[in-house]
Amino acid sequence: MTQDELKQAVAQAAIHYVVEGEIVGVGTGSTANFFIDELAKIKHKIKGAVASSEATAERLRGHGIAVFDLNEVEVMSVYIDGADEITPQGAMIKGGGAALTREKIVASVAKQFICIADGSKLVNFLGRFPLPVEVIPMAQAVVARKLNTFGGEARLRLKDGAPLLTDNGNYIIDMHGLQIEDPIALEAEINNIVGVVTVGLFAKQGADVCLLGTAEGVKTLTF
């Protein structure tokens, strides 16, 4: 199976976790896009969705799915999103699509986080994928210097030669060359750096379930 076929398979499997008549939290990225396309097939059965990015909101609306502001929603049964890496313990790196802060906020409101990913995303240690950190623009240089003390190399993410701007108007610093043995501790340390909005480690509150696309079919990992 191709990577897209694996993503399609996990997106279809995730539909079973959607609660009829309720609002579903929806993530950002290529795998989440497959899920949105599947969600559109049952849009008459749900109240709507909360989007973790402007791109996701646009895709949801394009399918005729009502998009709610998170401030209008007290609780959601489920948040469904992909991951750049996930461990056998459910800790994740997210933020390859620069939506990590909104993803973490929306996920915090949901009772259950369902991660959908192809098998290549399952790793024993996080860090081969560069770890994203969203930062206030004026703090970019000082935060980068502090991040470099953790090992690896902090690099400002660029787009068309200029710093990439998140939906929140901030910058992304990617930490390259890490092997993260204690993701919960590192998440807390980085979040405590002044100028950091949030780090793309989802470890303290990781996934509850991972639907993993493999050549043998979709495997369900529960944490």
Question: How confident is the model at residue 202, as a pLDDT?
Answer: 98
Label residue 72 exposed, middle or buried (CB < 10 Å: 0-12, 13-18, 19+).
exposed
Q: What is the mean pLDDT of residues 188-214?
A: 98
DSSP per-residue letters across 40-71: GGGGGGS-EEEESSHHHHHHHHHTT--B--GG
Q: Which amino acid is at 45?
A: K
Point out the catalytic residue in the list 5, 38, 58, 103: 103
Res. 190: pLDDT tops 90 = yes
What is the residue-averaged pLDDT of the chain? 97
- pLDDT bucket at 44, cuts 50 / 70 / 90: very high
Look up 54 and say whether it is catalytic: no
Question: How confident is the model at residue 1, as a pLDDT?
Answer: 84
- pLDDT bucket at 173, cuts 50 / 70 / 90: very high
Torsional class of 127: left (φ above 0), alpha (ψ -120 to 50), beta (otherwise) = left
- pLDDT bucket at 193, cuts 50 / 70 / 90: very high
Joined together, the tokens standing for residue 104 give 């973490």
- pLDDT bucket at 212, cuts 50 / 70 / 90: very high
Contact (Cβ atoms closer than 8 angstroms) between residue 92 and residue 84: yes
pLDDT tens, residue by residue, 51-105: 999 999 999 999 999 999 999 999 999 999 999 999 999 999 999 999 999 999 9
Q: What is the mean pLDDT of residues 190-210?
A: 98
